[in-house]
């Protein structure tokens, strides 16, 4: 059995002063200050990190701008080179063709009958399967006469030594009435034997 209190306890603990050696408010204030300093340091680090990233971005952009000028110049020079290379390739194909367009026209001029007029000549020297020439023209006369003249002209071209040496086939591919002139329009295809120039 506990001993009875020798006098009543009338103390109000909420109103009594803090008599501890280290007061509770000190810990609360220290924790608040530490938390504030931690948040301030974290915020400062974040700001420094953002500033550092912005500096890196600016430096990278300066480098990109510097390289962009060089890149544009390189692209411009590359385009000029490609255009010049295309011209060289075309010249090489022209030189490798089995017969030059000028020589071809000369042979045509020497074999051309008076009833036939040449409208156009299309030369495709860069074809993968070999050079091709397409001759288009008109034949005078009645339909039967014009048709016979065109066929005879094709036979004459096939019999030409120079053309026979160069072309694997000489074919009359089109023979129709030309509505504008009333003459017979023809088309003759010349297919080269190979892509190497005859010596």
Task: Assess whether pLDDT exceeds 60 at residue 66.
Answer: yes
pLDDT in tens, 147-177: 888 888 889 888 888 888 888 888 888 888 8
> What percent of the chain clears pLDDT 70, i.e. is strictly above it?
83
pLDDT in tens, 178-189: 777 778 888 988
Neighbours of 192 (CB within 10 A): 22
- How much is the pLDDT for 48? 94
Residues 6+ apart with CB under 8 A from 172: 150, 151, 154, 186, 187, 188
Burial 157-183 (b: 16+ CB within 10 A, else e): beebeebeebbeebebeebeeeeeeeb
Comparing CA positions, the residue from 112, 118, 109, 149 lying closest to residue 136 is: 118
- pTM for the full model? 0.49
Sign of torsion, CA 168 173 178 183? positive
CA distance 177 to 182: 6
What average pLDDT score do residues 43-53 get? 94
What average pLDDT score do residues 22-26 get? 73
């Amino acid at each position: 059995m506990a001993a009875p209190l020798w006098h009543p306890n009338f103390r109000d603990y909420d109103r009594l002063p803090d008599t501890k050696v280290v007061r509770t408010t000190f810990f609360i204030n220290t924790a608040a200050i530490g938390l504030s300093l931690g948040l301030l340091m974290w915020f400062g680090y974040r700001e420094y990190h953002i500033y550092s990233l912005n500096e890196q971005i600016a430096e990278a952009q300066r480098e990109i701008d510097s390289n962009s000028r060089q890149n544009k110049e390189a692209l411009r020079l590359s385009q000029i080179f490609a255009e010049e290379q295309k011209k060289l390739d075309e010249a090489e194909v022209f030189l490798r063709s089995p017969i030059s367009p000028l020589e071809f026209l000369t042979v045509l001029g020497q074999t051309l009958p008076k009833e036939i007029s040449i409208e156009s000549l299309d030369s495709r020297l860069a074809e993968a399967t070999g050079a091709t020439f397409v001759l288009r023209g008109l034949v005078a006369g009645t339909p039967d006469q014009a048709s016979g003249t065109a066929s005879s002209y094709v036979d004459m071209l096939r019999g030409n030594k120079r053309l026979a040496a160069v072309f694997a086939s000489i074919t009359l591919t089109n023979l129709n009435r030309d509505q504008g002139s009333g003459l017979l329009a023809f088309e003759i295809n010349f297919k080269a034997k190979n892509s190497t120039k005859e010596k």
